[in-house]
């Protein structure tokens, strides 16, 4: 994995290797050997040490025989790889990070020293490029401590060994491109939005909401903006009154609202205008950030899995690359953000108990009980003496609630199953250290909102009964659990745990830009504020001095 900060960059590393002077040796192999040996034992900055060490060991192991140049000069293989590196921007990467300007100069290398410099620079750049493609340029946890994602390791020594043997280095390097339709579609979106960024795009001035049938001087600017983003076909019919907000334009606005996760009402209000006026250059950055997130993710999420996009407030169940079910979800509020990680659903709990997390019990419920001594009974909360196994049930009337503060509250609280339980009637459990799982909720009205960040971190599912049916029927293939038997179990209000035959991976991701199979590109608001730092580091973390 490439660290966020490197030495001045690949070109600077090569300079450290000392391959800039032709006075030391008369041929490339001797130049490589002399310069590599001269620095082999010196301390190396951690940000760049692994890749440099790989190159040092590689050439030492082959007696400094070059793979990119020969007696005739720069090989065609070297030029092919240089072309790949020069076009790395199409993959959302930064060509300067791979020393592309210097490589371009050295393709006409004449002296042994220049050829030696090109040799080392191409090898180092190839290792970095393969690693960046396969696992990302930055480390997820260092960008955001709520990113519990571990990208795949790249065997950098194998990259060089394979490049030395292959007759087609371009095709070989393609193997490190993420092999997922989601990444490929984002890559296409990047090219599209870079083209859009070169066009004229008027902004839509603020003002009262523009609704269908209204006449407003901003309508021509709205029309032009929607044409530039592809939501309205160029040359779409326009009525005699250019300022009339007609049905054709309304359909385009709704299409735009769908793509941006807004309320689909066809009215051009404050939020819609804000999203319309986001600079296309910022959308390009957003795509770049999400291509990086895709590089962190595994190519193969599993034959069947649950995927939750926290930024989109959506869940889907996938089997054999086909989506079986989708649902709206509610995720953590901005101050109780849901982390990014992969869990394994191992059981479903019908009529679950809710064991109140200590932080909620101490900060929220304690205050509620102090205000209303009958709160516990109304919420059907049982009090236990502590968190140890076998803790006794305590009569709340015997507790001096006023004597406790959030920092001293010792009791465990458990809400009994049934109507009003905070977990609703079904919970989908995936034991993890973050205490995050999927569940029902009695607060159904919140699903009607476009932005659904309201929970303490867990994920509330709009139609959990339907999700359970999909799991039992399509994934578990358990004939015992039909919609009727499931409803009968719910109607008992008795707690029941149903263990799954095989754990189901649950991938929680934070994707603010994505492209669907039909080619539409979607953007979501950065509700957790995770895009900004990632965008900044992608722009600055790998720049090199030239």
Looking at residue 72, its pLDDT comes to 83
| Rounded CA separation 538/290 (Å) | 11
Q: What is the token pair recorded at 542?
A: 């790998």
Looking at residue 40, its pLDDT comes to 40
Render pLDDT for 425-444 as a digit per residue (tens, 0 to 9): 999 999 999 999 999 999 99
Looking at residue 49, its pLDDT comes to 63
Q: Is the CB of residue 496 less than 8 Å from the CB of residue 351?
A: yes
Beta strand pairing call for 354-355 and 304-309: unpaired
Q: Where in the chain is the domain with CATH 2.40.440.10?
A: 300-515
At which residue do the structure tokens 């008992």 appear? 492
Looking at residue 97, its pLDDT comes to 87
Q: What is the token pair recorded at 74?
A: 């720069």
Which residues of the chain register pLDDT less than 50?
1-9, 11-13, 15-26, 38-47, 542-546
List Cβ neighbours of 392 (8 Å cut-off, separation of 6 or more). 384, 385
List Cβ neighbours of 282 (8 Å cut-off, separation of 6 or more). none
Q: Is the CB of residue 423 less than 8 Å from the CB of residue 407?
A: no
Looking at residue 113, its pLDDT comes to 84
| Rounded CA separation 77/166 (Å) | 10
Looking at residue 8, its pLDDT comes to 44
Render pLDDT for 367-385 as a digit per residue (tens, 0 to 9): 999 999 999 999 999 999 9
Instruction: Name which CATH class applies to 300-515.
Output: mainly beta
Torsion of CA 449, 453, 459, 465, to 10 degrees: -10
CA nearest to 410, candidates 428, 426, 392, 429: 392
Q: What is the token pair recorded at 348?
A: 């479903």
Please report which residue ranges of 334-390 form alpha helices under DSSP H: 358-360, 366-371, 375-378
Beta strand pairing call for 438-439 and 459-461: parallel
Q: Is the CB of residue 300 less than 8 Å from the CB of residue 542?
A: no
Q: What is the token pair recorded at 33?
A: 């050997």
| Rounded CA separation 139/199 (Å) | 34
Looking at residue 110, its pLDDT comes to 86
List Cβ neighbours of 231 (8 Å cut-off, separation of 6 or more). 252, 253, 255, 256, 259
Looking at residue 44, its pLDDT comes to 25
Q: Which residues pair with 187 in a beta bridge?
A: none
Q: Which residues pair with 74 in a beta bridge?
A: 69
User: Which pTM was predicted?
Assistant: 0.89
Half-sphere exposure of 520 (CA within 13 A, CB side): 13
| Rounded CA separation 18/34 (Å) | 9
Torsion of CA 515, 520, 234, 283, to 10 degrees: -40
Looking at residue 18, its pLDDT comes to 46
Q: Which residues pair with 328 in a beta bridge?
A: 314
Looking at residue 258, its pLDDT comes to 97
């Amino acid at each position: 994995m490439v660290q966020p900060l490197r030495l001045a960059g690949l070109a600077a590393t090569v300079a450290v290797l000392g391959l800039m002077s032709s006075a030391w040796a008369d041929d490339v192999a001797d130049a490589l050997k002399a310069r590599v040996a001269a620095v082999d034992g010196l301390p190396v900055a951690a940000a760049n040490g692994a890749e440099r060490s790989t190159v040092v060991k590689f050439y030492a192991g082959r007696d400094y025989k070059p793979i990119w140049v020969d007696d005739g000069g720069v090989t065609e293989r070297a030029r092919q790889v240089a072309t790949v590196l020069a076009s790395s921007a199409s993959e959302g990467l930064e060509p300067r990070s791979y020393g592309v300007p210097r490589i371009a100069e050295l393709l006409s290398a004449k002296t042994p020293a220049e050829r030696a410099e090109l040799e080392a620079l191409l090898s180092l750049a190839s290792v970095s490029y393969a690693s960046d493609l396969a696992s990302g340029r930055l480390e997820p946890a260092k960008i955001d401590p709520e990113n519990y994602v571990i990208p795949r390791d790249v065997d950098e020594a194998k990259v060089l060994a394979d490049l030395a043997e292959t007759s087609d280095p371009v095709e070989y390097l393609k193997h490190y491109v993420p092999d997922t339709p989601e990444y490929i579609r984002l890559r296409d979106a990047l090219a599209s939005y870079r083209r859009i960024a070169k066009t004229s795009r008027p902004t839509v001035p603020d003002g009262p909401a523009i609704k269908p049938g209204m006449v407003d001087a901003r309508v021509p600017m709205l029309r032009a903006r929607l044409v530039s983003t592809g939501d309205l076909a160029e040359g779409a019919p326009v009525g005699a009154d250019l300022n009339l907000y007609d049905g054709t334009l309304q359909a385009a606005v709704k299409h735009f609202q769908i793509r941006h996760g807004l309320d689909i009402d066809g009215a051009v209000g404050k939020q819609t205008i804000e999203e319309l006026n986001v600079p296309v250059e910022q959308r390009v950055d957003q795509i770049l950030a999400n291509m990086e997130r895709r590089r962190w993710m595994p190519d193969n999420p599993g034959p069947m899995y649950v995927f939750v996009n926290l930024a989109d407030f959506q869940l889907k169940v996938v089997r054999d690359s086909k989506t079986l079910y989708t649902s709206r979800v509610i995720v953590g509020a901005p101050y109780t953000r849901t982390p990014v990680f992969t869990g394994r659903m191992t059981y479903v709990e019908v009529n679950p108990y809710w064991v109140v997390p200590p932080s909620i019990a101490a900060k929220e419920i304690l205050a509620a009980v102090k205000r209303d001594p009958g709160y516990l009974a109304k919420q059907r909360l049982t009090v236990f003496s502590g968190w140890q196994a076998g803790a006794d049930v305590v009569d709340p009337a015997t507790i001096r609630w006023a004597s406790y503060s959030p920092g001293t509250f010792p009791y465990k609280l458990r809400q009994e199953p049934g109507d009003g339980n905070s977990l609703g009637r079904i919970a989908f459990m995936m034991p993890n250290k973050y205490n995050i799982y999927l569940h029902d909720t009695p607060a159904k009205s919140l699903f009607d909102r476009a932005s659904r960040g309201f929970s303490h971190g867990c994920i509330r599912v709009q139609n959990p009964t339907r999700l359970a049916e999909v799991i039992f029927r399509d994934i578990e293939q358990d004939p015992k659990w039909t919609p009727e038997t499931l409803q009968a179990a719910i109607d008992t209000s008795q707690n029941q745990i149903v263990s799954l035959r095989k754990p189901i991976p649950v991938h929680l991701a934070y994707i603010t830009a994505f492209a669907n199979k039909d080619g539409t590109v979607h953007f979501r608001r950065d509700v957790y504020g995770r895009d900004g730092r990632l965008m900044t580091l992608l722009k600055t973390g790998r720049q090199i001095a030239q």
